Amino acid sequence: MQELPNAGRFRALASRVRSFRTRMLAKKLPVQPVTWSEMPIALNAQARIGTVLRGKYRLESVLGVGGMASVYVATHRNRRRFAVKILHPQLSFDAEMRARFQREGWLANSVDHRGVVAVLDDDVSEDGSAFMVMELLEGESVESLWTRHGMLPLPIALALADQLLDVLSAAHARRILHRDIKPANLFLSSEGVLKVLDFGIARLREAPGTAFTQTGISLGTPSFMPPEQAAGSWSELGTDADLWALGATLFSLISGRYVHEGENAQAQMFQACTQPARPLASVAPTVPDAVARVIDRALSFQKRDRYASAPAMREALQQAHREAFGSALDASPQALSAWLQHQGVAPAPKKANARRPISLRRTLLARR
Ligand SMILES: Nc1ncnc2c1ncn2[C@@H]1O[C@H](COP(=O)(O)OP(=O)(O)O)[C@@H](O)[C@H]1O
Ligand SMILES: [Mg+2]
């Protein structure tokens, strides 16, 4: 029988997914974003390697594949290296999606904080795909750090949260909500600076409802969604929604578990809409009370019970750290980069084809 084109690559990819799932289940981590339906997207992303966009950006390797786009290391014709994010082909046909994708760069740059990835350019490639050019970050995504460790040391998770709260303070002050805070959209640079990625579903608070939210694509991630977002009540989303997602991120980084652990995305979405978050102490009993209280409050079902602002939550976390450990929280880039070096992540690779830390997505997209 004649083999379909790509059958060998597909089988190799499938076996990697199976071994990934086995490892995750052994660690008792719920297996989440890897689905069979994502495989064609992953193969598509890989097939672009070697192509040159607009005669300038040569795509060298895949960095990650998300719900909306694939991200590559690319070398400009002037030899400088960038990260290039290309909207998935099936989304690029939609003019509204293209416009929203371009707005992502504008929103990210509007925050004007070193903790937001810098977007340098956007364009449409010869084959009609929208793409944007970003600074190339060296380091590791927080999701990848988390899946490798199962859970992160408490002081490291709190330091990441502290830096993230500073970024969210700046974004919220400019009336920008991120709306998709989660480990996969956070990146720890080798210098120890937390970078927020993916303003793909961010929006200005005052903007009127857009058709985008009606398309049903990329509405966030169930495990990190506050109840009102899971219920699709977008007009109710305020700064406390980003803080809820940050609380869910901390919950997962510290405990190695998700707030809601439904069997699949639909079950998780249903739980997120209808059930209050379980207390952190129920899955991580050794976490000091003072710290658990802050996280539980951020995860309150009722909006009025949550922290209203990022600076208020930041202050509460720092106070909880003092109470729990008798010392001030050290969230400096130096402290985080020293920890990363200890994990063998920094210094960053210099060559485009240098081996990068393995992430969940990269596991899927290992080079042929
Ligand atoms: N500028 C960058 N430098 C290095 N890696 C990046 C960069 N931007 C994104 N990535 C990687 O690509 C993944 C997907 O990027 P993201 O912007 O979240 O895309 P999506 O909108 O498809 O979710 C991230 O989790 C991260 O690992
Ligand atoms: Mg993303």
Atom of ligand 1 nearest to the CA of 134: 1
Phi, psi dihedral angles at 347 (to 5 degrees):
-75, 160
Pick 267 or 358 by higher pLDDT: 267
Mean pLDDT of 309-319: 98
Q: What is the mean pLDDT of the chain?
A: 83
Query: How sure is the predictor about 294, in pLDDT bands with cuts at 50, 70 and 90?
Result: very high
Ligand 1 within 6 A of 85 CB? Answer: yes
Whether 180 is catalytic is yes
> In the predicted model, is pLDDT for residue 156 greater than 60?
yes
Q: Is the CB of 66 under 6 A from ligand 1?
A: yes
pLDDT in tens, 239-284: 999 999 999 999 999 999 999 998 888 888 899 999 999 999 999 9
For position 207, what pLDDT does the model report? 41
Q: Which domains does the chain have, with CATH numbers?
A: 7-134 (3.30.200.20), 139-342 (1.10.510.10)
Q: Helix, strand, or coil here: 58?
A: strand
pLDDT of residue 15: 54
Residue 177 phi, psi dihedral angles, 5° rounding: -100, 140
Ligand 1 atom nearest residue 200's Cα: 21
Give nearest CA residue, ligand 1 atom 19.
66
117 lines ligand 1 (CB under 6 A): yes
pLDDT at 99: 87
For 362, the token pair is: 């990269």
pLDDT (average), residues 128-144: 95
- What is the spatial distance between Cα 152 and Cα 145, in angstroms, rounded to a whole number? 8
- Residue at 132: amino acid letter: M
Query: Would you state the pLDDT for residue 264?
Result: 83
Q: What is the pLDDT at residue 92?
A: 85
Please state, for a pLDDT cut of 90, what percent of the chain lies above it: 60
Pocket mutation for ligand 1, best pick of 34, 57, 71 (most atoms within 8 Å of C-beta): 71
pLDDT at residue 25 greater than cutoff 60: no
Report residue 33's pLDDT band, with 50, 70 and 90 as the boundaries.
Answer: very low
Q: Which residue has the higher pLDDT, 314 or 205?
A: 314
pLDDT band at 31 (very low <50, low <70, confident <90, very high): very low
Which of 122, 162, 166, 180 is catalytic? The answer is 180
Residue 9 reports pLDDT greater than 80: no
Does residue 137 line the site of ligand 1, with CB under 6 A?
A: yes
Nearest ligand atom owner, CA of 64: 1
Comparing CA positions, the residue from 340, 350, 290 lying closest to residue 79 is 350
Confidence of residue 189 (pLDDT cuts 50, 70, 90): very high
* Look-up of token digits 């929604």: 241
Model confidence at 36, pLDDT cuts 50, 70, 90, reads low
Binding site membership of 201 for ligand 1 (Cβ less than 6 Å): no
E-assigned strands of the chain?
52-53, 57-65, 69-75, 81-87, 119-124, 130-134, 139-141, 176-177, 186-189, 194-196, 203-204
CA of 334 to the centre of ligand 1 (A): 23
Our CA dihedral for 300, 301, 303, 308, rounded to 10 degrees, sits at 20
Mutate to test the pocket of ligand 1, among 85, 147, 359 (most ligand atoms within 8 A of CB): 85
| CA atoms of 95 and 323, how far apart (whole Å) | 52
Residue 30 pLDDT more than 70?
no
State in Å: Cα 71 to ligand 1 middle.
Answer: 6
Task: Give the ligand 1 atom nearest the CA of 135.
Answer: 1
Inform me whether the pLDDT recorded for 168 exceeds 70: yes
pLDDT of residue 39: 64
Stretch 82-88: mean pLDDT, rounded? 95
pLDDT: is 125 or 38 the higher one? 125
The answer to whether residue 172 scores a pLDDT higher than 90 is: yes
- Per-residue pLDDT of 341-350, as tens digits, reads 988 775 544 4
* Rounded distance from Cα 197 to ligand 1 centre (Å): 6
Q: What is the pLDDT of residue 346?
A: 59
What pTM value is reported for the model? 0.83
pLDDT at 48: 93
Ligand index nearest the alpha carbon of residue 357: 1
Among 45, 87, 51, which residue's Cα sits nearest to residue 63?
Answer: 45
- Supply the residue whose CA is at minimum distance from atom 13 of ligand 1: 64
Q: Does residue 49 or residue 66 have the better pLDDT?
A: 49
Q: Is the dihedral of CA 157, 158, 164, 168 positive or negative?
A: positive
Residue 141 CB–ligand 1 contact under 6 Å: yes
Instruction: Check pocket membership of 139 for ligand 1, CB cut-off 6 A.
Output: no
Q: Is 211 exposed, middle or buried (0-12, 13-18, 19+ CB in 10 A)?
A: exposed
Choose the residue to mutate in 63, 65, 87, 181 for probing ligand 1, maximizing ligand atoms within 8 Å of C-beta. 63
Collapsing DSSP states into helix, strand and coil, what is residue 332? Answer: coil
Least distant ligand from the CA of 135 = 1
Is the bond into 30 cis (omega within 30 degrees of 0)? no
Angle at the Cα of 83 (from 120 to 89), degrees rounded to 5? 95
